[in-house]
A and B are shown apart, each in its own frame.
Chain A
Amino acid sequence: MKPSVPAFLRKGRTRKGSDKPHEKAIGFLLLLCALVSVGTTISIILVLVNDGIFNFVGEKAFFQQVSLKQFLFDSKWLPDSPEPRFGIWPLVNGTFMVSGIACMIGVPLGLCSAVYLSEYAGPAERSVLKPVLELLAGVPTVVYGYFGLVFVTPYVLKPLFETLLGFEVDTFNVASGGIVVGIMVTPMVASMSEDVLRSVPRSLRDASYALGGTQFDVSMRVVVPAALSGILASVLLAFARAIGETMAVTIACGTFRRIGVNPFESMQTMTGFIVDASFGEDDAQGIVVKSAFAVALSLFLITLTINVISQMILRRYREVYE
C-alpha cells in the first residue's frame, strides 16, 4: 500500500495553476494515456453491440436477424447449416463443463499450494516454489492445449477411464481440456490466495497458537476463515479465466456441439466456436461471423459479471483488515 507520506504531499501538493504551462501539457498527455484504457472498454462494447445487437455501420447485426427468444431457448447451435438454428445452450454447456472441471482441479490444488506457501514453507523453499509457479503461469495456452491432446487424453484419460473403467474416451474430449485449464489456473489461485492469506494479521495466528492450536487448527480454523472472502474472490476470478480460455479448449475439446454431462465426449465451447467461425474467413461477413459476435458478447457479459462480483467481495474484505 501507499508509503506513509502526509496526504497533502502526495496528492494535490502543488496549488492549482502553479504548474508551468509545459508541465500542464505533460499532465494532460499522461491523462490521455490513462484514457486509452477507458477508450478500449468503450470500443469493445461498441464493436460487440455493432455486430451483435444493433448496427451503427455495416450490415445488420445478429439480433436484428435472429430473435433473442431463439438465441436463449433453442437447443441447437447450427449456424452454418441450410436451415440455421441459433440456440446458445450447447456452447454454454461446453464452456461450463470445461470451467467446472478446471475449477475442480485448479481450486483444491491452488488453495492447498497457497496454504502451504503462506503457512508452512520456509523462506528457502518459498524462493524455489514461487518462481516455479510463476513459470507454470507463464506457459502459453496453446502449449497447454497441445499437452492435453498428446499427453492427457492418450496417456492419462484413456488408460484410466477406458481400459480400467470401461468408459469410451474420444480423442477430443472435455475432460482433457478441463484438466489442462485446471492446471493453468492453479498458479493463479495459488498466488492470489497466498496474498490474502499473508495479509491476515500475525496476531490472529499468535493468539491461536497461544491457545494450544496445532498448525492445522491455526491455518484451517483461523487463517483460512479470516481470509475466506478474498479466497472466494480468487476462485471466482479463476473461474472467469477458465470461461474465457480459448486455445487450450479449442485444441483439446473438439468441435461437437451438444448438451450433456459426459466429460469424455467432444464438446465445443463458446470461445472454441468464435475461433472456428472466424478462422480462414477472408471477408468477415455473413450470419456465421455475426453469430460469433453474439457469442463473444455473451462471453463478455458472463466474465464481466463474475469479475465485478469478485471485486466487490475483495473491496469489502479490504475494509475489514485495513
Chain B
Amino acid sequence: MRRRLLLSSSFRLICRVAVYSAILVLVTLLSVVLWLAMERLTLQFFQRGFSLIPDRAGIKAGIWGSFWLISLTAIFSLPVGIGAAVYLEEYASDTRLTRLIKVNLSNLAGVPSIVYGMLGLTVFVRMFGMFGRGIQLNLLSGWLVVPLPFGKSVIAGALTMSLLILPVVIITTQEALRAVPGTIRTASLALGATRWQTIWSQILPASLPGITTGAILAISRAIGETAPLIMVGAVTYCRICPGGIESVQTLLTDPQRVLAAPFDKYTAMPISIYGWITSGPPFMSVAAAGIVVLLFVLTCFNGIAVYIRQRARNKLKW
C-alpha cells in the first residue's frame, strides 16, 4: 500500500513539474527577449524604418503595415466568418451540403499556414497571371487606381490572412452561439418574431461577448502570423508606411492617401523581425526589440479578450 501511495504522489509531482516547466519556459523566453532588447527599446525605435545599420533600425513601417493589414483582415473576415457561423448554427438543417461544410471547416483549420501563402501568391498576388493592368475607379475625391493583379500589396496580404483566420472565427462564433440557451430562441419565436429578428435582436446580442473574444483571438493570431506574409510578398526591406501615412492625423484628414494605402507595398511587424533575424548577429538585439513590441501588442489584445470574457461571465447568468 505504501508503495502504491508513493507511486501516486511521485506521479503527481511529475505532472506538476511538467506544467510548471512549461511556465518556466515562458518566463525564460520573455526574460531572454527583454534582456536582449533592453538597449534598443528607445523612443527612436518607434520613429524609424528599416535600415542596414542596427543603430538606425526601427519598427515604424512595421507597425503601420501591421495596422493596415490587420484592419483590412478584420473587415474581410469577421462579417463572413460570423455570417457563416450563424448559417451553420441557426439556419442549416442536416443536409449533405451542411455536413460537407462542417467537415471541410475542421480540415481547413489544420492546413499549414504556408499553404495559405501559396494560395494567396497565386490567387491574389498574381491572379493566375490573367490580368495585365489595373482598373481606375472614378470616386468623388479623385481617381482610385486598383491594380490587377494586386501584386505584393496590403490588400493581397489581408485577403490571404482573412482566409487563414476564417475557420478560427467560424468555429469560435459557433461555440458562442451554441452557448445561448434555447429558451431565448423559443421565447422570441413564440412572441411572433421571425427567424432573422430572433437572431438579430436576441441571439447575436446575447452571444456578443463570446463572439468578440473569439474574434480578438483570431485577430491576434493574424498579427503574429509570418509565413504566409513572406509568400505573398510583404517586403522586409521596406521603409515606407502604406499610403505614406505616418501619423494618426494624416490617417484622419487625408482620404486620398487612405484609399491608396491598401494597394501600397508594405512590411509588417513579424516580417520586420524575421528580416532582422536573418540579417546576422548585429541585428539580434533589434529583432529582440521588435519581438517585445509584437508581444506587447498581442498581450494587449489577449488582455481585452480575457476582460470581456470575465465581465460577460459575471454579468450574464443563464
Contacts and interface: CB of A to CB of B under 8 A. Distances in A.
A224 to B, nearest CB: 11
Contact of B7 (A108, A143, A214, A292): A214
A113 B92 CA distance: 38
Interface in B7-62: 7-8, 11-12, 14-19, 21-23, 25-26, 28-29, 32-33, 36
Contact of A58 (B29, B128, B181, B288): B128
A150 interface: yes
A2 B177 CA distance: 10
Nearest to A4: B182
Given A5-B185, A146-B33, A41 B163 contact: no
**What is the predominant secondary structure among interface residues of chain B facing chain A?**
helix
Nearest to B274: A142
B287 A146 contact: yes
B118 interface: yes
Given A109-B18, A132-B23, A296 B115 contact: yes
B115 A147 contact: no
B5 to A, nearest CB: 6
12 contacts: A19-B195, A34-B84, A43-B119, A135-B299, A139-B29, A143-B29, A143-B294, A146-B273, A214-B4, A216-B11, A284-B121, A303-B110
A33 B12 contact: no
B113 A215 contact: no
A36 interface: yes
Q: How large is the interface on B (under 10, 10 to 19, 20 to 34, 35 or more residues)?
A: 35 or more
The bracket for how many chain A residues form the interface is 35 or more
B185 A10 contact: yes
Interface of A: 1-5, 9-14, 19-20, 23, 26-27, 29-38, 40-41, 43-44, 47-48, 50-51, 57-58, 108-109, 112-113, 115-117, 120-121, 129, 131-136, 138-143, 145-147, 149-151, 183, 186-187, 190, 214-217, 219-220, 237, 240-241, 243-247, 250-251, 271, 274-275, 278-279, 284, 292-293, 296, 299-300, 303-304, 306-308, 311
Contact of B16 (A120, A140, A243, A293): A120
Contacts of A34: 83-84, 87-88, 92, 101, 170
Nearest to B178: A2
B156 interface: no
Given A9-B185, A26-B196, A140-B270, A38 B115 contact: no
B226 to A, nearest CB: 5
Given A139-B26, A216-B7, 13 more contacts: A30-B83, A30-B86, A35-B101, A38-B100, A41-B104, A44-B111, A58-B129, A108-B18, A138-B224, A247-B270, A275-B231, A284-B125, A304-B107
Nearest to B197: A23
A136 B25 contact: yes
A136 B22 contact: yes
B157 interface: no
